[in-house]
Every structure is written in structure tokens, then in C-alpha cells.
Structure 1
């Protein structure tokens, strides 16, 4: 973790944190420190509009106006041996989700629908600790079938923790981006997962980066973490320097240890989004699971004007999202151009 420089630390100088952020982040392109992020997270509600406006300026300056649209599909659902307390796909909890595999024709159809919806990114996800030979074979054959269908959409994967050999195999398949969420701050992780460590997740991301794939790593807010841990998490992600950070908000899943957790209030979710943007001015920040429940339609638009520059459209893994057409219409209304497939291949 890093400490705020004495000359800019609001707690040391009394300087307003948004004034500091305007100079440090908007003008200088340097993300906020952990101490500064915490101050942002503790801003009064009456300053939320000002905060969101600044986060949007930062997004426009350092990322530009384009929005990357992505669809995701579950290749292998349920039956995961890990005990991630938020996840309905863990085989350790009495959730309604049951193990299932998607066949290759289904995968090809999903990729085609994702492309037609206007997305440039298609992520293949599996509920596993890490991929075995059967899963990698299914991914390989699925990617081959998608290409034979004439679909040149960018393909990403999220298949759990990897070995170096598996990383190399995914690169050879043509996977350009790999998602593996750190999920939460290192200090909070043992309260969320006990069957593997935060460091194991980070090690997979290190191998992914070194192999030349883009790194996608974010997490879920609303799992009982403190403001201090949210600030810690933002800076730990910034230190990872990921290409993309998915912002998920907890959806309390029946049967999981978090089934009775409260949903984060919309204003708090927007404040968190803006704080993460100020911590990572150049990173693709993506609206992911839980935004519909936490923010609703109006909140989604506010988030797009508060630092977000990427979005998952359609349904998530075991939860319904908004129809892709609604999000595409929202981006058109906001005059935010969708990143074109031709620009990414």
C-alpha cells in the first residue's frame, strides 16, 4: 500500500480532496492514493454530483468517449468446489443452481447474439477452481466453432486459477483477455473465501500479463467490507494495472452465506464507482453484475456519466440483466459511441 504524499494529503494540509484530485488525477493522470480514496468515499451526499462530474471528466480525458460493450456466457455452471461466500455456483452451499454444461452449438449461438447486440467482446466463463482437460478442450473447440461461424468478435475467458501451461494454451487458442477477479481487499479476502488465497489469484494474473494477454480483474462491493477496505482494494487494483476492472455489486444469492446481506444504496454505489475511477484514471471500468438491483435505470445512466466506460449487456451468469437493446439505446441517448469491433481486431 502507498501513503498519500505529505504535500497533497487532505488529512495533512486540509486541502479539499476533489481539488487535489482535479490537479493530481484530471490534469496529471496520477491516481489517488489509498488515503485519498478513503476521503472520497467519505464525502457528504451533497457533493456526490460534483464527484461524479469530476470522475466523468477524468474518464473522458484519459480514456476517451468510447464504451466497450461485452456479453458473457457460462460454459460450465454450478458445482464449483470453492467456498466463495457470494457465489450461487459453489457446490458447498444449498443454492438453487445445479451443474450444467453448454454445448458447442449453444456457445456459437451466444457469441453470434452477442455480436448482433453490438458488442465487441465475448467472455467464456466457467465455475471452477481452475480448468481441467475437459474444460480446456471445450473452450478450444468452442473458439474454433465461433471462428468457423465467421464471427471475429474478441474472445476473453474466465476459467479460475491457471498454471503456466494453461496460460500458454489459452494464448495459443487466441484468447486475448483473461478475467480473474481479486474480489475484494487483501485484508478482507479471508472473510469471503477460505478454500484459496488472494495471492493465488494474483499469481494467475501475473502469469496472464507476462504471457501477453490483457488482464481483467475487479470484484464485488457490498460483502461486509469497510470504507477503509474499499479504499485498500481500489489501490491494490491500481497497483495491478489491469486493462479492465469489472465493478460488481453484491446480489444476495439464496442459499449462500450472504443471502441476507443488504443491497448497497445507489448513491453509495455511485460514490464507489467514482472513487475507483479517480484511483485508476486510465483503466477500463466496467459496469457488471448487480447494477440493475443497486442502481436501477436512472442510476445506470448516472454511472455512465460518473466514470464508467464499459458495460456488460444482457444476462449475467445466474442472474438476469437488462435487455441489451436498452443499454444500447441508453448509450445512444448519452451520445457515447460504442467501441467498434473493427477497432479491436
Structure 2
């Protein structure tokens, strides 16, 4: 019988030579005993460095429309279903977002993502977003990504024409868990949008939130579902329990469970950007160092949709401390 460390190395070497790891092999890795997680993490880091080099992709978000979303996702403080007492606002003028994008670029961000809290953009709002994108392209020159909810094929093609590089639409959680976290749309609705985005020629960013009360088996299910899309970018959030939401008392995941997700994803998606997203400052005492040396090669910096994050200067220092680059 092959010892676990040797087995991890075998799977690592398979990935390095371009052999796609099987689902059963990935499952074996994901469910290793804790004593072998360092081996798993080190091998995931080896794969990352082989395919991605030492560069960490840094992204900043702009929450361009906050609060009053029509969906009832139980983790979200922007849902109109819950009284979370956050301040809401509608789409700001383009020049305000242009200044945010310029600041992000000057601080060292590689990309800038426009995010809106709604089910889907109506025609007037979509036209306003397009105007914002045009102005950023004209005055800033930074890689633009969008996360605008459900899209029509026509809207996706318009974003492609505007040189939007990548569209984010998270699966949120596994198919088997989804009905427990949202009732106003389905898992299949989210899959449909990802297919529309891909067909329009946009790159895909998808992922989810871990720590929603799902089982380890459901986290495993999620990473396999993410991998099926072969996304150019994966974004993994760790739940920050928000007061006023049904998950406000949810217990955080242990770092070992978080590490399993990132490391196994790297074996499944060796050439993708795997990004540590919301919750790292709260859930990870080292702000992500372990994950950046265990499969991840990207972070979201400065802040998230309804709360602040590390200043980008602090994140740049963290990346330098572990001998990685931006």
C-alpha cells in the first residue's frame, strides 16, 4: 500500500506533466487526515509555482450598487429580506467609480471588479454600468471585471465588446446545499448565467462561500462543481457572519478545512487564478499566508462589498514577507 506522502507526490507529479487528476484521486487528497495536510499544502504550492510563478494577483472591488437586493441569500447583508442596518445607495456617477479605479491602479491592483447588489441589471442600469466601463477604459486603463448578477446573452456580448475581461458569478455553495441558502432563485439559474458568459467569450470567475454550515462532503462537492467550468479564476470566500442575517451565529471553519479547499482546487485547476476573497482578515490569523503558500495565488484587497479589508500596503508587505511578488 502506497504511503500518503508518496501518494500526494505522485498526484502532484501527474499534474505537473499535464495529466488531469481524477475525481477519485482529488477526493482522496481532500479527505486526508490532518497529519498530511502540510504535505498536501506544500505540493499544491509546488504546482502553483510551476504553472503560475511567484506572482500574486491583486484585485480591488467597487460595490457600485449597495443594499436592497431582491434575493434572500441567507449569508448576505445586502438582501432586502433582512434588517442588517447597512447604508444603501444606488449607482453613483461614472466619475466617482473612475476615481476608485484610478486609486486601485495606483496602489498596485491588477484588476478592478464592478459589483452590484441586484438579481439582474435592468436596461437603464445596465446602460449606466456600460458608461462606467467606457469611462474607466478611457481614463484609467486597468483590467475590468464585472459581477452584475444574472445576464442575458445580449448583455454578456455587450460586456465583451466593452473589453470586460472576466465575469464573476459564484455558485455560492454546492448543489445539494443551495436550497438551504436561497429560495428566490435556483442553483441551475446560476449555472445558466455561467454558460451564457462563456458563450459570449468572456473569461469566467466563479467560486463560493465556505463556512455556511455545509458538511465537508458538500465543500468537496462544491470544488468539483467549480472545476467542471474550468474557470480562469476561482474566488473562495469564508463566511463573515453578518448581524441580522440567519447565519449571524455561524461558527467559523477551522483553518484545516479551509486549507483542504484551496490545496485540492490547485490540483484540479493548476492553471487558474485561485483567489482568497472575503473573510480572510477575520478567519485567518495570518491574513492568508498559509493559503498563498498552499494553492492560492490571488487576493482581494482593501475591502469587500459591505465591509473594509486590509489596506493594500499591508497586503503588499504580507506578500513580500513570504517571498512572493505582485
TM-score normalised by length of structure 2:
0.94
Taking only aligned residues, the RMSD between alpha carbons, in angstroms, comes to 1.7
Query: Is residue 145 of structure 1 aligned with residue 141 of structure 2?
Result: no
Aligned residues: 323
Gaps of 5+ in 1: 1-12, 339-345
Q: Distance in 2 between matches of 1:252 and 1:40?
A: 29
Partner of 1:326: 314
Task: Find out whether 1:280 has 2:279 as its counterpart.
Answer: no
The aligned runs of 1:99-138 (5 Å cut-off) are 99-101=88-90, 102-138=92-128
Q: 1:43, CA displacement in angstroms?
A: 2.3
Instruction: Calculate the TM-score normalised by the size of structure 1.
Output: 0.89
Equivalent residues in 2 for 1:1-345 (5 A)? 16=4, 17-33=7-23, 35-101=24-90, 102-149=92-139, 151-296=140-285, 298=286, 300-338=288-326
- Gap change, CA 1:202 and 1:145, over 3 Å in 2: same
How far the C-alpha of 1:288 sits from its partner, in A, is 0.4
Q: 1:334 & 1:27 partners in 2: Cα distance?
A: 26
Structure 1 residue 39: Cα displacement = 3.0
- Is the deviation greater in 17-26 or in 154-163? 17-26
Name which of structure 1's ranges 85-94 and 19-28 shifts more when overlaid on structure 2. Answer: 19-28
Q: Deviations over 1:290-334 (max 9, x none)?
A: 0111112x2511111111111111011102211110111122232
SS in 1 for 2:95: helix
**Once the 2 structures are TM-superposed, how far is the Cα of residue 206 of structure 1 from its aligned partner?**
0.9
- Kindly indicate whether the alpha-carbon contact (under 8 Å) linking 2:240 and 2:282 is maintained by their aligned counterparts in 1: yes
Kept in 2: contact 1:273–1:306 (CA 8 A): yes
Distance 1:299 1:54 in 2: 21
What corresponds to 1:341 in structure 2? none
Task: Give the deviation of 1:113 after TM superposition.
Answer: 1.0
Measured against aligned partners, the alpha-carbon deviations of 1:39-90 in whole angstroms (never above 9, x if no partner) come to 3333232222211111100111222222211110100001000111111111
Q: Which runs of 5+ in 2 are unaligned?
A: none
Take 1:168 and 1:333, find their aligned partners in 2: how far apart are those partners? 41
For the Cα contact (< 8 Å) 1:30–1:281, is it kept in 2? no
Q: Contact (CA 8 Å) 1:32, 1:278: kept in 2 or not?
A: no
